Amino acid sequence: MRKFLVYILIATALCACNRTSRNDVHVLDIVSNAVWGENHAYSDWNGKTWEVSGDTMLFQALCAPISVSEFDSIKAVISADFGEPTYTNHTLPEELIPSTDTGTFWMAWKSHNRFCYWCKDTINIGWGLFEEELVNDTGYAYLHIEKK
């Protein structure tokens, strides 16, 4: 009986070691996890279900409801993959704020109370939380991934 318990203990320890940790979450997994249907696609990523559109070169995902702390948590996942954001709602120069949707700095719309924008050699990533949708500290979040 003792031998059996030792085997159970070892098996349990091995299973615990193989568990996916928070550090194994990457932003581009949302693209690879997407399941495409006729009109919509969905992706289960980072504990949320995302409605997605686009393809592997220009990918957009919408998630609701999401709290401000979850927004910050996903910002940390993106930052772990791509470093600190190039711009945020606190650092975007006013001259870059477009009056219409130009694509590049769409995250600068004043309807976002929080946004982050990563501009790297091979990829642009925008991550924003819609201010007008915030109800009880939750709202809609929008992720934009554009590969160059």
Rounded mean pLDDT, 20-35: 80
What's the token pair of residue 67?
A: 């709290």
- Peptide bond before residue 98 is cis, with ω within 30 degrees of 0: no
pLDDT of residue 58: 83
For 72-109, what is each residue's pLDDT tens digit? 999 999 999 999 999 888 888 877 766 666 655 555 55
Which has the closest alpha carbon to 58: 106, 129, 98? 106
Q: What separation, in Å, do the N-terminal and C-terminal C-alpha atoms of the chain show?
A: 60
Question: Collapsing DSSP states into helix, strand and coil, what is residue 20?
Answer: coil
Q: What is the pTM of this model?
A: 0.74
pLDDT of residue 90: 85
For 111-142, what is each residue's pLDDT tens digit? 677 889 898 999 989 898 876 655 666 778 88
For 59-68, what is each residue's pLDDT tens digit? 888 887 888 8
- Peptide bond before residue 65 is cis, with ω within 30 degrees of 0: yes
pLDDT of residue 101: 61
> What is the C-alpha to C-alpha distance for residues 81 and 52, in angstroms, rounded to an integer?
20
